Structure 1
Amino acid sequence: MHTFAVARAVHGIEPLVAAEIRRSRLGVVRGVRHREVWFEAPPGADLLGLRTADDVLLAAAVVDGIGHDRSALRRLAGAARELDPGWVAGGGGGGLEVSASFVGRRNYTRFEIEDAVGAELARPSRVPYHSRSDGGRPPLGAMAWRVTIEGDQAVIAVRVADRPLHRRAYKAASIRGTLHPPVAAAMAHLAQLDSAQLGGDRLDGDRLGSARTVLDPCCGAGTTLVEARAVAGSARTRFLGFDLDPAALAAATANAAHPDFGRSPFAWTMADGGRLPVDAGSVDRVLVNPPWGRQVPPAGLLARGLGPLWREVRRVLAPGGLAVALVHGEIPDGFAVEETVEVSLSGQHPLIAVLRPR
């Protein structure tokens, strides 16, 4: 019997999540909504293997006729009341919590949705419901439920794992400005690092050869390259990370040491993003999240602008190579744009840009 699942995503990369589900044969995509992909998964599918998703949940109910007035609360409570108690019975002794969100204006709040659904979910099994309405935080171990509303349709779903997918097991260390892991994974997919698995999907894996060397000139805590390693799945690929901050390099080294990655294909080196110690034309892919100037100010040769960085990216790329960058503002000069994906991050709307040197 197939499972109705919901993958949560950063806004903007929902189509990439859907493409990953198809490529990985995790199921049949049934719908793409704001920050969600609905799909049917076959028995035994590794739902926790999704790299581009923030989280994955099992849908317990889809509720139609959810309007903008407060009668929607009664309808949602009724749907939760009708669920099989078995959905909650196996959740353990930590009780349950509910997180809600909706698109557009409503005459009720997210907390009212959470309390209407949470109270009914908890009632049959007599487990504690941990409300957020008074500013409280649910305890660790509470069964995590989610309610999302778009248009007149809501889904009530429960998290598959004990924590969201975006909280990666390898994240032993972090620094300010660390890139959100699913966005880094989306960049790796756009760089066609999984070209051997792509077949006939939306990214044409036949255009590029295998990536032998992948470079990040502003690597920070290493998130982009670690996600690239997970996506690439090739022991033959080298991953080169450069940064001027010793603390960043220490964090990257710690994160890349996770046992999942086996023998380390990573090399972390202190260097200026405007003067990389790499031969011209020696890199197949560049993945880069340049310093925004908000959490992480540009330093070294980049302190007066990112021009030196883009010159170095063009210099090190091999013929036919590809760069995927998180761009704030205008696309850098000297590149042809193959694709852009606008995402929502920290209140900003940067582009993930797929670039080829001219």
Structure 2
Amino acid sequence: MELPTFAAFVTSGLEDIAAAEIKASLSGVRILETRQKVVLAEAADPRVFKNLRTIDDVAIVSALSSSVDSLEDLITLIASGADLNETIAIAGRADIFEDAFSVTVSAAHTAYGPGKVIEEAISREISKRYAWQYIQGQRAAIDVRVFIDGTWAVIGIRLYDEPLSRRTYRTANVRGSLRPTVAAALVRLAVVDGKRHRVWDPFCGSGTIVCEAAAMDHEVWGTDIDPEAVDASRENISAVNHAYWGRIENADSTNLKTWQRHRSATAVVSNLPWGKQVAIKSKQALYTSVSSGVAELGRRGGTGVLLTAEPQPIVQRLSREPGIRLDEQRIGLLGQTPTILIVRPVR
């Protein structure tokens, strides 16, 4: 019996990390293909994806084509290639279906109109074919997910009421708060050996990275110079593990003394302050402390994973440091292409 196909939607640049999490966490799941922002996989049970942390959302695929050259081709794919009733049943969502649906469109590198035009055309075709009511401006219990990249298109039904990227612990936010799925991916990059680590975020903001690390059962510490961020981080981490509330401190991590206090960390994972979102007193001090701190950590056998919109000053400093290896990985986030810097010991 042929297994259903699922599309896991991820942040651009993190597809391999998401695919690795799927392989490591889920039995009976086979990766079919990895594309930009999408991992396709086969699975017998749609519920298995529920606890993945690097996946933004999941849909069960109803139809897929690599030759959708026009809006008319997309409509034809819906009319002749997709059986949404069957997809809804396989997804286990038939019991909540009340003949109403919404449409979510993601489209890139396509010449047949913006997302709104595509959404309207799709909703008209589905309403005509199935006699369902289209709900505009909000998500219905049955949400038709359409993803288009050039001529490659996938149509499916979202599996869950809420996106997987939504976290119940996240009740407090500050400017520059990181997307939880990206935070989870950064932690997974830092701890590839399957062991329990001591994770420190020197610029923790609202605590998304420490919350994700704690949810993966690592020990965590967080530091921020902004008292408002410390309060937010403490509130959020308390929802994951209240024992870590006291490990969030108000301190300046551009000061090397702060790094010395956290020498017990085996992994440093941080979203460095972005100039447009968070005020930075001294970029020079930031780059110096971070570069020196993660280089020293790497020489001790630890790993540093840093997300930054301005990698070059840190790369220049780290390239002069002995005993470490530096890797770079670009992602797409908030309309920008920040870089993940990964510092590991030379083996």
2:24 equivalent in structure 1: 23
Q: Deviations over 1:271-326 (max 9, x none)?
A: 00122174374221101111111110113x65765213333444566710110111
The correspondence of residues 33-48 of structure 1 with structure 2, limited to 5 A, is 33-43=35-45, 45-48=47-50
1:240 equivalent in alignment to 2:221: yes
Query: Is the contact between residue 170 and residue 236 of structure 2 (CA under 8 Å) also seen in structure 1?
Result: yes
Deviates more, 1:78-87 or 1:52-61: 78-87
Cα distance in 1 for partners of 2:334, 2:197 equals 33
How far the C-alpha of 1:25 sits from its partner, in A, is 2.4
Query: Is the contact between residue 28 and residue 41 of structure 1 (CA under 8 Å) also seen in structure 2?
Result: yes
Cα distance in 2 for partners of 1:93, 1:180 equals 32
2:268 equivalent in structure 1: 286
Point out where structure 2 has 5 or more consecutive residues left out of the alignment: none
SS at match of 2:222: strand
Q: Tell me which protein shows more helix as a share of its residues.
A: 2
1:5 equivalent in alignment to 2:6: yes
Amino acid at match of 1:146: R
1:256 equivalent in structure 2: 237
Aligned counterpart in structure 2 of residue 345 of structure 1, from 330, 333, 339: 333
1:110 equivalent in structure 2: 115
Count of residues in correspondence between the two structures: 331
How far the C-alpha of 1:266 sits from its partner, in A, is 6.4
1:200 equivalent in structure 2: none
Change (3 A) 1:354 1:313: closer
SS at match of 2:291: helix
Change (3 A) 1:227 1:94: farther
Point out where structure 1 has 5 or more consecutive residues left out of the alignment: 132-136, 197-209
Q: Deviations over 1:15-54 (max 9, x none)?
A: 1111111111251110111210000123365211111111
Normalised by the length of structure 1, the TM-score is 0.82
The correspondence of residues 1-358 of structure 1 with structure 2, limited to 5 A, is 2-26=3-27, 27-43=29-45, 45-67=47-69, 69-79=70-80, 82-84=83-85, 87=88, 89-93=94-98, 95-123=100-128, 126-131=131-136, 137-138=137-138, 141-192=140-191, 195-196=193-194, 210-231=195-216, 233=217, 237-258=218-239, 260-261=240-241, 263-264=243-244, 267-275=247-255, 276=258, 278-279=260-261, 281-299=263-281, 305-315=286-296, 319-327=300-308, 328-330=310-312, 331=315, 333-334=317-318, 335=321, 336-356=324-344
Change (3 A) 1:337 1:313: closer
Change (3 A) 1:83 1:356: closer
Change (3 A) 1:101 1:77: same
SS at match of 1:5: strand
Cα distance in 2 for partners of 1:109, 1:280 equals 49
How far the C-alpha of 1:112 sits from its partner, in A, is 2.8
Q: Deviations over 1:235-287 (max 9, x none)?
A: xx4211000111111111111122x5475486100000122174374221101
RMSD: 2.8
Amino acid at match of 1:311: S
Query: Is the contact between residue 280 and residue 317 of structure 1 (CA under 8 Å) also seen in structure 2?
Result: no
State, as a whole percentage, how many aligned pairs show the same letter: 29
